[in-house]
Amino acid sequence: MKTRNVRACLERSYVRGRFAEERKRYLTDLLDRGWKLNTVIIIAYKLQAFAARVDIRCQGGVTSEQIAAAAESHLEESRHHFSTSNGPEIARRNFIAAAKGLLRFLGQLREPKRIHRFGYLVDAFCGFLEAEDFAPTTISIRRGSVEKFLDWFDARGGVFNTVSIADVDAFIAEAQHQHWARTTLSLHISSLRCFFRFAATKHWCRSLAPAIDAPRIYKDENLPIAPPRNQVKDVINNIGIEKPVDIRDRAVLLMLASYGFRGKEVRDLKLDDLDWPGETIRLYRSKARREQLFPLLPGVGDAILLYLQQVRPETNHRELFLQFRPPFGPLTRPALTGMVRNRFEKAAVKLRRSGPHVFRHACATHLLAEGFSLKEIGDLLGHSSVESTRIYAKVDLKSLRNVAELDLEGIL
């Protein structure tokens, strides 16, 4: 009865006019996914204004430029309605977001495809890395680093077969001028060396890799940053269980902190990876590329169950953790990083770095302080070599004891 009344309200309000049927289907879908009526009505008003200005059925889809033009036209007509707190910029952003949501739902949003003059070089390089069985994350990092350099080189009108070490040095100098961290710069340079070694074998350019200098990284410079016990407790305890986003975030952070999973491993978890009768989690290790079983801890299990039963959007996606905005896809890397940073900020906890990996460091250093061996900790974290775990042994044991006091019993 409530659903019929809601849809009748929308019918009377904003679903008349051009492309009413398409808009009605989208708005109904939002309601079915749990969006609040007031929010949907606001979106409906924006979509009515959008549909009056743009042919959403046009062949090839609607471009970002058309959406922006419609937003400007609508703003010009509605400018006198804005309050001080909800000015034109916010109205423009909300209008564009509503329009893109509708067009994505209809499959009519023409997303601009990035055309890179040197794209064929990058594709060939990444294809080589795949054939050499590099991890997908490593390939993604390599691609991003090489594209940054090639974008810079392309903007200066460079021809690739004339690229020189002077060009690479100029790129590095500019990055240093922009205050890139030495560790970040070192990572990009490592990718460029790998790329130019490959390019030389293909005779695309001269051999430049041996001449590329990287900034010196001092021993133990990159020791893991593990938040102390009281800070991790503050972050997790500060998350409520009333709002849908809080319920999801609490489940995600508990999983990160309790098991030391990588962010990608949590993002890639599927519903089928949870064995409720057997009380286990099946995890695919993104770097080792193998599966590993973990016991489902009671606290983590309860948090996940609450999320599944009360707030997870109904969708065909099989990933466990989803975003709460249409089209309700899996959590992305930026979304997860932003979630963690936001939770640290809300708990008034300040760290030099506050991405998902800090929980992994906290888990490892806690286990080390409790007397577990490097081999045992490495097995939990999915390290293929004990050398990857040894870095935690270089941290002062006194500081190790200030990490999260979480229920890790039975993991190893």
Q: Residues 234, 308: contact at Cβ < 8 Å? A: no
Asked if 360 is an active-site residue, the reply is yes
Is 392 catalytic? The answer is yes
282 is catalytic: no
- As a whole number of angstroms, the distance between CA 404 and CA 307 comes to 23
Catalytic one among 250, 360, 361, 366?
360
**Are 274 and 320 contacting, i.e. CB atoms less than 8 angstroms apart?**
yes
Residues in the chain: 412
| Residues 223 and 394: beta-carbon distance below 8 Å | yes
Secondary structure element (H or E) that encloses residue 275, with its range: strand 274-275
290 bridge partner residues: 285
Is residue 42 a contact partner of residue 86, using CB atoms and an 8 Å limit? no
Q: Point out the catalytic residue in the list 193, 341, 357, 401.
A: 357
- Residue (of 96, 111, 110) closest to 62 by Cα position: 110
What is d(CA 343, CA 250) in angstroms, rounded to the nearest whole number?
9
Known catalytic membership, residue 383: yes
Helix, strand, coil fractions of the chain, as percent rounded to 5: 60, 5, 35
Q: Which of 14, 26, 307, 392 is catalytic?
A: 392
Judge whether 117 counts as a catalytic residue: no
Q: What is the DSSP string of 205-248?
A: S---GGG-------TTTT------HHHHHHHHHT--SSSHHHHH
DSSP label at 404? -
Number of Cβ within 10 Å of residue 264's Cβ equals: 19
Catalytically annotated residue among 262, 285, 343, 366: 262
Q: Which of 92, 287, 341, 401 is catalytic?
A: 287
| Helix residue spans in 295-393 (DSSP H) | 298-310, 333-346, 357-369, 374-381, 386-390
> Quick check: is 346 catalytic?
no
Catalytic positions: 262, 287, 357, 360, 383, 392
